[in-house]
Amino acid sequence: MSTHDTPLHTPLPVAPFPSRRLNRWAEMAWRVAGGVDVRTKILGMVLALTTVLGLAVTLQVRAVMTRVFMEELEGRGVSVASDLASRSVDAILLNDTYTLHELLIETVNNHPDALYAFVLDRDNQVIAHTFGDAGFPAALLNPTLAVTAPNLVGTIRHWVYATNEGRVHEMIAPIMGGNAGVVRLGLTEARLRTVVNTVTGQMILTTLLVALAGIVAAMILTWLLTRPILDLVETTQAVGRGNLQARAPHWADDEIGTLADAFNQMVSDLDASQRTVAEKEQARFELLKKLISAQEEERKRIARELHDGVGQMLTSLMVGMRTLQRSDDASPAAHRMDELCATASETLEQVRTLSRELRPSLLDDLGLAAALERYAGEFARAHPTITVDLHCDLPMRLPGPVETALYRIVQEAMTNAARHGKASTISVLVSRRANAVQAIVEDDGVGFDVAAVRKRQSSVGIFGMTERAELLGGKLDIESGPEGATVYVEIPL
């Protein structure tokens, strides 16, 4: 195998970077902390700080007290054992076991921590003890009971045993250098442990009381901090609902008070700005209203002039031509007269069509229903491949501006369906419902993306239809899909 067949370096497995896991844990902890309100955070911090501090001080004091008491117990045990060993010499030399026994009893009774005492001779035989009628426990002579290594304090050895009553410190003091035997004194930790536990309990109780006081103080503090914030939140929600007269109360001259003042100033500026926008919108509304009204009046004037002026002139021209055509004087001009008559007739029809498109006279004379029926017929003749289904349920005439707006909206919707939607059927329904009039124009064309068209603002027709409906306090909705488009318009009366 060549050297090119074997990779020179084997990639090592990449362990996950520890900081990524730490970042994930930090993000999770931050999300949990962020989901808790401020009041709970402050209460939790105060309670945790008080508890941790109290427990730390309690444990430290307990450890110090335990160490000091054990040192004091050891020192006292060494002193008592030494004194007992020196006082036992005479009784042992005189073989006075009674006096030796009384000495041990007196020593144990005079020291609250002393549990027992006994004397062993050189042969490790018990001479005297304080166990009374219960008898001497032979287990005390077994050195394996010790739970700590022997500690030599001067000439005195210190052992620690575990019993049912707790740990026992035993001091072994030699008598006459060990030639006359030894004295063994047992000291219990029970009393000192009780004192330590009592002090620990008192400190824990003090910690709990301090924690309760801290909780009360934290609750007052959080109320003072969060009440202005909650008022600010309520004011913000009121402003969000449209109440620009709402103001946040000024609690104090601190940072929260400054925030409330800044928020109130912002709301005041917003209120002034909205009033300015409303005034401009009203001016725009009036301008558009006048513009559309002037546009319709101009269309009406042009239509009347075309109908009354040009139409009558063309009619007179056509009548004169037909008179010449019927005369007995035949001439080559007769054929030309026929062409002029046809041209005049076609021109007259175009003028009438133009007049109706500018402003149908039926809209002013007979109303919306008649005007839409005339327009539907002309639309069907202009688009033979499209079927128009028109239904008008209008028991009475509507106000002029409403009839004009609905006529233009229906006209624009039908034109869009034929020009862009490639529809084969168009349905138009106009009806009156209570205090409003509704119009629905539906086609079976290819449809279009309504949101995209509105966003691009590329359709002047859709914008014009919407403006006409909104100027009269109505609304216009458009729904479109693969099966076609539908225009809904409703105008209050």
pTM of this structure: 0.46
Q: Is 177 left (phi over 0), alpha (psi -120 to 50) or beta?
A: left
Q: Which two tokens stand for residue 130?
A: 């304080």
CA-to-CA separations, 175 to 106, 126, 168, 368, 391, in angstroms, rounded: 18, 14, 22, 135, 132
Q: Does domain 367-492 have CATH number 3.30.565.10?
A: yes
| C-beta separation of 122 from 179 below 8 A | yes
DSSP characters over 368-390: HHHHHHHHHHHHHHH-TT-EEEE
State how far the Cα of 260 lies from the Cα of 250, in Å rounded to an integer.
6
pLDDT in the model for residue 489: 92
The pLDDT tens digits for 153-197 are 557 888 888 877 788 888 888 988 888 888 999 999 888 888 999
Tell me how far the alpha carbon of residue 298 is from its chain's centroid. 57
**According to the model, what pLDDT value does residue 19 have?**
63
What pLDDT does residue 430 have? 92
The pLDDT value recorded for residue 8 is 42
The CA distance from 128 to 146, in Å, is 22
40-197 to CATH, choices 3.30.450.20, 3.40.50.300, 3.40.50.970, 3.40.50.150: 3.30.450.20
The candidate with the shortest Cα–Cα distance to 147, out of 132, 134, 163, is 163
C-alpha of 489 from chain center:
38
Got the DSSP string for 392-441?
EE-SSPPPHHHHHHHHHHHHHHHHHHHHTS--SEEEEEEEEETTEEEEEE
Sequence spans of domains, the chain = 40-197, 367-492
The confidence score (pLDDT) of residue 64 equals 92
Token pair in block for residue 455: 């966003």
Tokens representing residue 391 in the block: 């239904």
Could you tell me which residues are beta bridge partners of residue 182? Answer: 120, 174
- The pLDDT value given to residue 427: 92
**DSSP per-residue letters across 211-262:** HHHHHHHHHHHHHHHHHHHHHHHHHHHHHHTT-TT-------SSHHHHHHHH
Residue ranges of the chain with per-residue pLDDT less than 50: 1-12, 14-16
Nearest to 370 by CA among 382, 358, 362, 381: 362
Task: Please answer whether residues 235 and 247 qualify as being in contact, where contact means their C-beta atoms are separated by less than 8 angstroms.
Answer: yes
